[in-house]
């Protein structure tokens, strides 16, 4: 039995079908990167997996149990947590308060505030600082640390490097590598293809709400990803970018 | 001079009462973004509960706190599930209309049950209702007024500590900011809001106790109480519960000074302060003034 199974998932934004008939499976310990152009449906898919957006069709199963209708806070208690695009820290609360809130999930495990700070040591001197005053990289670190403290089996990371400087992205990924070594299953949305290929065990490419290509990071060539990313008719553009 | 000092002292003590009245209203707005127009009516409900227990069964109102406050918490929990949560998802206006409807319904139920006669808890608390300490120079401190002020300070301090130091308090603050995100870190926002509503109703229960002790009330006293609570909350402003105390004290002092100038100016002085604060805030925000100026230019 797979850790996560997604079957024929449809998600709408009003009349717009943002995710269409998506299906995939994730095994324990995998790092799966979702790539695709803006509007491909990656963020909507992640929000649906986290329970923040109700699907209009299909199923999400965690360890074989159907959790399609389970609200987001209960999914966290069952082991799925989302680090949303834009971080969504509580800006007027301190870093410590942001982190300690995650203990409310009540899920036991190896992660706590101390172990999360060991992975993100740059947060330790900032605990009493208001989260809204952190730099972008520190905010991303705090958001990931907050998610880790819920002791997830699966962590969904949406747009890890969005809006961060290359140095900050490097630091965040350095810490993420340490998280990956603990065996936490990670699904991530990443616009930086090289980053995605460097950390992921598997790549899923989305276009117009569908998964159009998938494979292991070793077997899937950059050209194949680009073709899936932009579609055949836009290959000229994709070749330029590659 | 001693008259002025007396007016300031009595006004400040009166402010404690206003802060107590406004505490639940401000708490509910700050953490749930609900302007509860049934707030005053619910204070009257609590006052009637204390009166009923004292009148029918001879239970001292302070002892009755042990039963009334948990009952108010349950009412708050129920109101959150039945009225606040279903209405708040449609914006700020629908909860205002829903709680206005709730106030009318409860007013009439109270009238049906208890009639229009004024009631008071004063007969059940002995000398506390009229006892005072003489400070000299014709200045007296009412024992009940001092007690109410102390309770208001203790309540606001307790609530502030609860919100800043406990996990539930932090969850309440976080839910007020971003309800969706708290769900994403394992906090049930509906449960958190129900707890917040229960806490707000406990403060309403305490306000009801002192409403009954200070004077008399009828089933229709709620709207007058709402005005004072609303004025204290707005004058103090949002951001911290302590501002509610500041708003209450300012309102009480201005009313008291108004009464010193002219006995009939007691209420109007407070209303003028409220109006001045609202207009001042609108002008200070700049945006509102700019919006107003743009409209005027459009008319011209």
pTM: 0.86
What percentage of chain B reaches a pLDDT higher than 90?
A: 78
Coil, helix or strand at residue A189: strand
A240 or A74, higher pLDDT? A74
A81 lies within 8 A of chain B by CB: yes
- How near does any CA of chain B get to the CA of A27, in Å? 22
Least confident of A9-23, A192-206, B26-40, B275-289: B275-289
In this predicted structure, the answer to whether residue B288 has a pLDDT above a threshold of 80 is no
Strand partners, A155: A81, A186
Count the Cβ atoms, other than its own, within 10 Å of residue A155: 23
A10 lies within 8 A of chain B by CB: no
In this predicted structure, the answer to whether residue A79 has a pLDDT above a threshold of 90 is yes
Angle (nearest 5°) at CA B186 between B183 and B191: 70
B229, B25 Cβ separation under 8 angstroms: yes
In this predicted structure, the answer to whether residue B241 has a pLDDT above a threshold of 90 is no
Give the residue from B173, B179, B186 with the most A CB atoms within 10 Å of its CB, the best one to mutate. B186
Q: What contacts 24+ positions apart, CB below 8 Å, involve B237-243?
A: B237/B281, B238/B26, B238/B29, B238/B30, B240/B160, B241/B23, B241/B26, B241/B27, B241/B30, B241/B156, B241/B159, B241/B160, B241/B163, B242/B156, B242/B160, B243/B26
Rounded average pLDDT over A140-168: 90
What is the DSSP-derived secondary structure letter of residue A94?
A: B
Q: B90-103, pLDDT tens digit by residue?
A: 888 999 999 999 99
* Residue that the structure tokens 């060539």 belong to: A221
Does B174 contact A103 at a Cβ distance shorter than 8 Å? no
In this predicted structure, the answer to whether residue A240 has a pLDDT above a threshold of 70 is no
- Positive or negative, the CA dihedral A193, A196, A198, A204 is negative
Residues of B within 8 A of A101 (CB-CB) are: 167, 170-171, 174, 182, 185, 187
Instruction: For residues B44 and A225, give the distance between their C-alpha atoms in angstroms, rounded to a whole number.
Output: 68
Give the residue from A46, A50, A51, A73 with the most B CB atoms within 10 Å of its CB, the best one to mutate. A73
Instruction: For residues A104 and A241, give the distance between their C-alpha atoms in angstroms, rounded to a whole number.
Output: 44
Q: B49-59, pLDDT tens digit by residue?
A: 999 999 999 99
The whole-number pLDDT of residue A56 equals 94
Nearest-by-CA chain B residue for A146: B185
Instruction: For residues A93 and A99, give the distance between their C-alpha atoms in angstroms, rounded to a whole number.
Output: 10
Residues of A within 8 A of B178 (CB-CB) are: 88, 90
Nearest-by-CA chain A residue for B176: A90
Q: A83-115, pLDDT tens digit by residue?
A: 999 889 999 999 999 999 999 988 888 899 999
Q: Which of B168, B183, B238, B35 is nearest to A97 (CA)?
A: B168
Reported confidence tier of residue A74, pLDDT bands at 50, 70, 90: very high
Does A97 contact B182 at a Cβ distance shorter than 8 Å? no
Instruction: For residues A99 and A105, give the distance between their C-alpha atoms in angstroms, rounded to a whole number.
Output: 12
Does B184 contact A97 at a Cβ distance shorter than 8 Å? no
Q: B243-263, pLDDT tens digit by residue?
A: 999 999 999 999 999 999 998
Interface of A with B in 31-70 (CB under 8 A): 50-52
Residues of A within 8 A of B189 (CB-CB) are: 73
- How near does any CA of chain A get to the CA of B271, in Å? 33
- How near does any CA of chain A get to the CA of B162, in Å? 13
Count the Cβ atoms, other than its own, within 10 Å of residue A198: 13
Least confident of A178-182, B22-26, B247-251: A178-182
Interface of A with B in 94-113 (CB under 8 A): 97, 100-107
A146 lies within 8 A of chain B by CB: yes
The whole-number pLDDT of residue B287 equals 58
Rounded average pLDDT over B156-178: 93
In this predicted structure, the answer to whether residue B282 has a pLDDT above a threshold of 90 is no
- Positive or negative, the CA dihedral B96, B102, B106, B112 is positive
The whole-number pLDDT of residue A241 equals 39
Q: Which of B170, B184, B188 sits opposite A50 (nearest CB)?
A: B184
Q: Which of A186, A194, A238 is nearest to A212 (CA)?
A: A238
Enter the tokens of residue B227. 């005005």
Tell me if ipTM is over 0.90: no
How does the average pLDDT of chain A come out, rounded?
Answer: 88
Does B186 contact A71 at a Cβ distance shorter than 8 Å? no
End-to-end CA, chain B? 52
Does B186 contact A92 at a Cβ distance shorter than 8 Å? no
């Amino acid at each position: 039995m797979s850790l996560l199974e997604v079957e024929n998932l449809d998600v709408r934004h009003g009349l717009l079908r943002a995710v269409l008939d998506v299906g995939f499976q994730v095994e324990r310990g995998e790092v799966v990167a979702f790539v695709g152009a803006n509007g491909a449906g990656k963020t909507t898919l992640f929000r649906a997996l986290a329970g923040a957006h109700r699907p209009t069709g299909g199923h999400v199963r965690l360890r074989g149990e159907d959790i399609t209708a389970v609200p987001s806070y209960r999914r966290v208690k069952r082991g799925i947590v989302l680090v949303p695009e834009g971080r969504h820290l509580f800006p007027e609360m301190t870093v410590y308060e942001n982190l300690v809130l995650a203990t409310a999930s009540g899920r036991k495990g190896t992660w706590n505030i101390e172990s999360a700070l060991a992975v993100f040591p740059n947060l330790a001197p900032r605990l009493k600082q208001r989260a809204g005053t952190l730099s972008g990289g520190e905010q991303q670190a705090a958001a990931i640390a907050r998610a880790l403290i819920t002791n997830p089996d699966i962590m969904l990371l949406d747009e890890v490097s969005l809006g961060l400087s290359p140095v900050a992205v490097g630091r965040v990924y350095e810490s993420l590598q340490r998280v990956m070594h603990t065996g936490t299953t990670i699904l991530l949305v990443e616009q930086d293809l090289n980053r995605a290929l460097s950390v992921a065990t598997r790549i899923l490419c989305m276009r117009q709400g569908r998964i159009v290509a998938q494979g292991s990071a070793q077997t899937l060539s950059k050209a194949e990803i680009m073709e899936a990313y932009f579609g055949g008719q836009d290959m000229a553009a994709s070749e330029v970018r590659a | 001079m001693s008259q002025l000092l007396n007016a300031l002292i009595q006004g400040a003590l009166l402010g404690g009462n206003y802060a107590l009245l406004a505490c639940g209203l401000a708490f509910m707005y700050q953490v749930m973004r609900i302007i509860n127009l049934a707030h005053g009516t619910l204070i009257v409900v609590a006052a009637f509960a204390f009166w009923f227990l004292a009148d029918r069964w001879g239970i001292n109102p302070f002892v009755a706190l042990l039963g009334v406050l948990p009952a108010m918490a349950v009412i708050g929990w129920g109101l959150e599930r039945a009225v606040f949560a279903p209405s708040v998802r449609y914006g700020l206006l629908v909860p205002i209309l829903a709680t206005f409807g709730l106030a009318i319904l409860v007013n009439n139920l109270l009238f049906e049950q208890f009639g229009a006669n004024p009631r008071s808890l004063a007969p059940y608390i002995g000398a506390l209702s009229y006892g005072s300490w003489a400070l000299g120079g014709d200045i007296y401190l009412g024992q009940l007024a001092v007690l109410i002020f102390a309770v208001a300070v203790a309540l606001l301090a307790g609530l502030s500590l609860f919100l800043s130091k406990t996990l539930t308090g932090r969850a309440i603050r976080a839910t007020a900011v971003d309800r969706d995100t708290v769900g994403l870190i394992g906090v049930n926002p509906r449960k958190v809001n129900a707890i917040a509503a229960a806490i707000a109703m406990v403060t309403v229960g305490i306000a009801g106790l002192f409403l009954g002790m200070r004077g008399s009330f009828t089933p229709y006293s709620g709207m007058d109480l709402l005005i004072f609570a609303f004025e204290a909350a707005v004058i103090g402003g949002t951001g911290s519960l302590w501002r509610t105390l500041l708003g209450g004290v300012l309102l009480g002092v201005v009313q008291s000074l108004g009464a010193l100038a002219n006995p009939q100016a007691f209420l109007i002085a407070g209303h003028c302060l409220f109006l001045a604060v609202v207009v001042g805030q609108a002008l200070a925000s700049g945006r509102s003034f700019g919006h107003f100026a743009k409209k005027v230019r459009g008319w011209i």
